[in-house]
Amino acid sequence: MITCIREVRRAKGLTLQDVADACVPPTTAQTIGRLETGTRTVSVDWLNRIAAALGVTASDLVTLPARADLPLVATLSAAGAAAPRRVATLPVPQPAPGQVAILVHADIGDYRCGDEIWCDRIAPDAFAAALDRDLLVPQGAGRLLFGRLIDRGEGEIVVLPPGHGARRQALADPPWAAVAVRLVRSL
């Protein structure tokens, strides 16, 4: 949830201390500042307290991210295309917090030039769950390796890069990896 507490407070010409004093029960200017900047999570209770102190509704303090959905007009199966049984929409892909992307510049393995590979960053304790999945791992000195995680042993992982004749590479446990979770491909 994204708040616009600071913008509303400033538009009303109030200081952090003014808002803190107007809260019921009163709080500190430091707490209001932390809630404004996102250093501290804004609960529904805090949102209502600050809204009352500012003389606005809680919904005036919340900015929801814009999101577009696509209307679902057909389903496709071995029997062909068919109209959906009920009205539905599909959400447009939105990056999740911590996601990173890879842009493919040349056809290699299952990937085509122009593909975007969206990846979720994971810590070493989650590497075993990524077996037989494509991932990106740092090799040190700014170098990266992309390929299929084929083995997770004591203190190392083994990655098979895409492409015919690629050789598997063993790496000492990297500090993180990014597992491919979405392929975005233009037709």
Are the C-beta atoms of 111 and 178 separated by less than 8 Å? no
pLDDT digits (tens, 9 = 90+) for 86-129: 888 888 887 888 899 999 999 999 999 999 999 999 999 999 99
Give the pLDDT confidence score for residue 176 in this predicted structure: 93
What pTM was estimated for this model as a whole?
Answer: 0.60
Give the pLDDT confidence score for residue 78 in this predicted structure: 92
Q: Which two tokens stand for residue 62?
A: 């919340």
Give the pLDDT confidence score for residue 68 in this predicted structure: 74
DSSP notation for 81-97 = EE--SS--EEEPP-PPT
Parse the chain into domains and list their residue ranges. Answer: 2-63, 99-184
Tell me if the bond preceding 175 is cis, omega within 30° of 0. Answer: no
Which stretches of the chain score pLDDT less than 50? Answer: none
Give the pLDDT confidence score for residue 64 in this predicted structure: 65
Give the pLDDT confidence score for residue 92 in this predicted structure: 80
Are the C-beta atoms of 47 and 58 separated by less than 8 Å? yes
Looking at the structure, give the CATH architecture of the domain made up of residues 99-184. Roll (2.30)
CATH class as words, domain 2-63: mainly alpha
Give the pLDDT confidence score for residue 48 in this predicted structure: 93
Give the pLDDT confidence score for residue 173 in this predicted structure: 83
Are the C-beta atoms of 106 and 113 separated by less than 8 Å? yes
